[in-house]
Amino acid sequence: MGERAKCANCKQQLLPLSRPIPVLSSQDFDELIGNAKIPVLVDFWAAWCAPCRMVAPELEKVASSRPGSLIVAKVDTEALPQVAARFAIRSIPTMILFRGGREIERVSGAMKASAIASRFALPTEMARAG
């Protein structure tokens, strides 16, 4: 997930990811968390949640400032309640940082991108090879 890849049709760069990606199923979540070679910051959110909508652009900033060194993923707790239940999500937004398939740290509540990066001691962008 931290490597460069391009679309076979349009040649647009696909990897490294520079924006949050939606998680569409429990299986996708398990594969992402279990197989990611770089840290994954998961935002547990819902469309009706005003603080979730406030933190969304901040997570965009976090993702765009760390392509190749961090994956930002979004889990809609309404669409995937079983994933939210597995991690005992009681309030949203809740952000959990995973490394090597394991939960490292979590925080709840809306905050600015700089506070998110500071709170989780997020890695900076990897040096890009030409």
Which of the listed CATH numbers 3.40.30.10, 3.30.1340.30, 3.30.70.20, 3.90.550.10 matches domain 17-120?
3.40.30.10
Residues 66-101 pLDDT 10s? 888 999 999 999 999 999 999 999 999 999 999 999
Query: Which residue in the list 36, 49, 59, 72 is annotated as catalytic?
Result: 49
Q: Is 52 a catalytic residue?
A: yes
Residues 3-26 pLDDT 10s? 455 556 555 555 556 789 999 999
Give residue limits of the domains in the chain: 17-120
Nearest-Å Rg of the Cα atoms of the chain is 14
Query: Which residue in the list 23, 40, 52, 97 is annotated as catalytic?
Result: 52
Q: Is 49 a catalytic residue?
A: yes
Q: Report which of 41, 117, 43, 116 is spatially closest to residue 84, judged by C-alpha positions.
A: 43
